[in-house]
Amino acid sequence: MAHITASVEYGIHSLLWLAASDAAPLSSRDLAEFQGLSPSFVAKIFPKLEKAGILKATEGVRGGYVLAKAPEEISVLEIVDAIEGRKPLFDCLDIRGRCVVFGEDPPAWATAGVCSIHAVMLRAEKAMRESLASQSLANVARAVGRKAPAGFSDEVRNCLQARVVARAGRSKA
C-alpha cells in the first residue's frame, strides 16, 4: 500500500487550479470535472484540506472553495498530512527478538535500543518530511507554469470561470 495515495495527487492538482483561479471560489465538483476526476472522490478530500486551514469554503451561488492562505505559505508536507494524516512511513514490528535461536528469552543485546532497520527508516522518513516541508504549493505552481505554453493560464481561468457562471445560471433556473 502506498504511503502517499492518489488522494494527495488529486488534492495538490486541485489546489494548483485554485491557486491559478485568482481567488475565485471553485466547487469541488467543478475542479473534479475539469480534471476528469470523480467528483465524489474529490469532495471527500476538500473537508480535510479545510479542516487543516489550507482551504476555506465560501457560500452562495458562486460559492465554493478558495485557498485559506497564500500558495507560498502552504507546504507540500502540510497537504500530505492534511489528506493522509500523519502516519509513519514504516511500522516496525520489532521482530529482532523472535529469532528461534533465542527461544523464549531473547538476550538483551538483541533487543537493546532502537531496531537498526527502524532507525534507517526513521532517518528516511525524516528526510522525506523535510523535503516535502521545503516545497510550497507556489514552488509546484511555478514548475507547472514553466512547462505550460503561453496563454495556458488564461485558458484555464476562462474555462473555470465559465463553469462558475454556468453553475450560477443553473441555480437561478
Mean pLDDT per 10-residue section of the chain, whose length is 173 residues = 82 93 84 92 96 92 87 97 90 88 91 92 94 97 89 84 74 58
Q: Please tell me the predicted confidence (pLDDT) of residue 47.
A: 96
Q: Please tell me the predicted confidence (pLDDT) of residue 57.
A: 93
Q: How many CB atoms lie within 10 A of CB 110?
A: 12
Q: Please tell me the predicted confidence (pLDDT) of residue 158.
A: 84
**DSSP code string of 140-158:** HHHHHHHHSPTTHHHHHHH
Q: Please tell me the predicted confidence (pLDDT) of residue 8.
A: 96
Domain boundaries, the chain: 6-85+136-172
Give the closest residue to 11 by CA, choosing from 77, 89, 63.
Answer: 77
| Domain 6-85+136-172 CATH class label | mainly alpha
Q: Please tell me the predicted confidence (pLDDT) of residue 172.
A: 61
pTM of the shown model: 0.85
Q: Please tell me the predicted confidence (pLDDT) of residue 1.
A: 39
Give dist(CA 86, CA 133) in Å, integer: 13
Q: Which helix (H) or strand (E) holds 64?
A: strand 64-67
